[in-house]
A and B are shown apart, each in its own frame.
Chain A
Amino acid sequence: MTEFLTPSPSHPDMVQLLNPEGERVSHPDYEFSPDRPEDEAVRGFYRDMVLTRRLDVEATALQRHGELGLWAQLLGQEAAQIGAARALAPQDFVFPTYREHGVAWCRDVDPMQLLGLFRGTDQGGWDPAEHNFGLYTIVIGAQTLHATGYAMGVQMDGLVGTGDPTRDTAVVAHFGDGASSQGDVNEAMVFAATYNAPVVFFCQNNQWAISEPVDQMVKVPLYKRAQGFGFPGVRVDGNDVLATYEVMKAALKRAHEGGGPTMIEAFTYRMGAHTTTDDPTRYRVSDEVEAWKLKDPIARVEAYLRRGGGASSSFFSKVEAEADELGERLRAGIHALPEPDPVALFDNVYSELPPELREQRDGYAAYHASFDLEGASR
């Protein structure tokens, strides 16, 4: 009955172009056709995934050392994120959850800024407009509505179906299997269908909503829900970066051309915890984790590149060195993140300070300064 929850690699409903053994497989509807030489593209994916994994591993370690209050791990979901993000056109806009570190990486958001959010020095230090990458959203599913509204705006701006690939714009709403139960996600899909909004709903089904397994809330395959809203749904092997890239590219193309929304279910697995406060050994068996290890998204790309000669061993050592360098930079940078200024608490609540809040700020600033003066006189 729940066969759909554990589709085999050759499952007819799941798009796969690179199997866990690192062998290319074919699919009737999708073919790997990157916009640059194939091996170069795959090497690029590999590098992105390795560096994203290193970011994740380092951040998890930093949390364990007390440097971060929390970290939401992406271990195991690198292919889903890199494949989805590398398919984007520069003008496309992404609305992430709080786990899209790989997408943030591809959108050139400095990883230090992700750490700032989880360290608590700010609430997301990047400019969404500069990166076309929204702020992380903690409330589950809320951002899918923002993505849909933004896509409605794109459409009002006349930026779909222009035929100009540098202008046609799509919007991506990231969410997880848990979020699929939320009213907002379902309302977003209703609105997207109603207005034919150029939005791609990209669901990373990582099998677990904290401790709740997907079969507790999902009784038909997630991608099939799209049909009920009136647009296509596709399931892709989320541990296959090639397939994710192609499926996403097709969905974005559809949105760009004015074809409206698509839902993608990237079938993947969260190898780590939901966040660093969570203990997955309390709710899932190690056999399951071990089985998914064999489907590791990075290992299969490495196997493919090595076997086919798509990359030399110096390439792998170079990426490894780059990852070490990134780790070093994150560890060194964590203490350089600026501590918040207490008086800045009052900034940006409104476009300008209302009188009452100004009074609170000035009063607190004076109070705070009185301690500094005492300190200075001692």
Chain B
Amino acid sequence: MKMTLAKALNAGLRRAMEDDPKVVLMGEDIGRLGGVFRITDGLQKDFGEARVVDTPLAESGIVGTAVGLALRGYRPVVEIQFDGFVYPAYDQIVSQVAKFHYRSGGRVAMPMVVRIPFGGGIGAVEHHSESPEAQFAHTPGLKVVACSDPLDAYWMIQQAIAHPDPVIFLEPKRLYHSTKAEVDVDAAPAPLFESRVVRAGTDVTVLAYGPTVKTALTAAEAAAGEGKSLEVIDLRTLSPLDMAPVFESVRRTGRAVVVHEAQVNLGLGAEVAARVAEQCFHSLEAPVLRVGGFDTPYPPARAEEFFLPDLDRVLDAVDRSLAW
């Protein structure tokens, strides 16, 4: 069945709730409205108000009470309405959610998913287009993943919910309704914490996740027309990073370009570049290049096209890499 990313996530949540009665969804407007992006559409109608909980408007409250539910044996799945609204819950996420298992010497599990629609490109007002992934990937105890296509999203959300550790689940909001693909609900899923090659190539390895996977694939298509072969890897898992396929690829191509929407300074690309440099030093033909948001706050909507890495900026970086 062909599904949008949004529909695939909805179907994945539904299946997770059917499979495990301890799964409870919580968030602002997720019940009757079905969430501002409609990801939880129809779930409250079918599972009731006790399992799809419309909460007061208080992000720390949502995550903090979810901690209590997890301690009681539930598997809370929390929706943060927009990336820029996660900061009021930041303390609960990094100081409580991330550390419970460690602090308790492994006695307490914290099986929680925090879903965050992230990234820009939808023409929104401020605080609605941010990419906070590095802040969570920098926190030991959290796992951070980003989906980029419907089939993957359908399985990843279920795997994240079933996983015993807390998972920050990033959903590229500009792909919610613009990406449609076949979702085989019977197919065996890829492991949650592995990156994967989504397009094979030989000249440059392009690394992306979430919304920039589509950008990278479009760039690869355009580059092919110019006789350049780009290998595109969807990192999928940002913490822990799964670098083995990246190293294997870079050893072949000798070149790597990392693409993300987040600000470049201390962003995930910096970590990826450092690890590639450590492990593939002798194979590299060029320094690892980064294409990302500028080190500015996210700009007003009518300027976001200048901020977001697009096909041309990716191709420019590919050319610079090849020019070494």
Contact = CB atoms under 8 A, between A and B. Distances in A.
A356 B106 CA distance: 19
B72 A149 contact: yes
Interface in A135-191: 135, 139, 142, 144-154, 156-157, 171, 183-184, 187-188, 190-191
Contact of B240 (A122, A188, A355): A355
A348 B64 contact: no
Interface string A186-221: 011011001000000000000000000000000000
Contacts of B163: 351
Contact of A139 (B24, B96, B165): B96
Nearest to A347: B106
B259 to A, nearest CB: 22
Interface stretch (A14-22, A62-70, A126-134): A126-134
A187 B105 contact: no
B61 A354 contact: no
Contact of B67 (A129, A145, A347, A356): A145
B67 A191 contact: no
B61 A145 contact: yes
Given A139-B95, A191-B61, A356-B241, A183 B109 contact: no
Contacts of A124: 103-105
Interface residues of B, number: 46
Interface in B132-181: 140-141, 143, 163-165
B36 interface: no
A153 B61 contact: no
B92 to A, nearest CB: 7
A128 B72 CA distance: 11
A150 B104 contact: no
B107 A129 contact: yes
A134 B71 CA distance: 9
Nearest to B61: A187
Residue among B107, B143, B193 with max Cβ neighbours from chain A (10 Å)? B107
Contacts of B63: 145
Contact of A349 (B92, B107, B140): B140
Interface in B116-132: none
Interface in B91-119: 91-92, 95-96, 100-109
A135 B67 CA distance: 13
A157 B72 CA distance: 9
B55 interface: yes
B194 to A, nearest CB: 11
Contact of B58 (A149, A157, A190): A190
A371 interface: no
A351 B109 contact: yes
B191 interface: no
B315 interface: no
Given A128-B107, A190-B56, A142 B72 contact: no
B222 interface: no
B165 A128 contact: no
B74 interface: yes
Contact of A142 (B88, B91, B165): B91
Contacts of A356: 240-241, 243
B105 A191 contact: no
B103 A135 contact: yes
What band does the interface of chain A fall in when counting residues whose beta carbon is under 8 Å from B?
35 or more
B96 A348 contact: no
A357 interface: yes
Residue among B74, B143, B163, B164 with max Cβ neighbours from chain A (10 Å)? B74
A370 interface: no
Interface string B31-52: 0000000000000000000100
B73 interface: yes
B218 interface: no
B68 A122 contact: no
Contacts of B100: 135
Contacts of B141: 349-350
Contacts of A259: none
A150 B65 CA distance: 7
B60 A351 contact: no
Given A145-B64, A348-B101, A351-B164, A191 B56 contact: yes
Nearest to B275: A356
B270 to A, nearest CB: 16
A184 B60 contact: yes
Nearest to B72: A153
Residue among B105, B193, B243 with max Cβ neighbours from chain A (10 Å)? B105
Contacts of B66: 149
B92 A149 contact: no
5 contacts: A124-B104, A142-B64, A142-B92, A148-B68, A153-B69
Given A139-B96, A149-B65, A187-B60, 4 more contacts: A128-B104, A129-B107, A148-B65, A194-B56
6 nearest A-B pairs in the assembled complex, by CB-CB distance: A149-B68, A145-B64, A153-B72, A149-B65, A187-B61, A150-B68
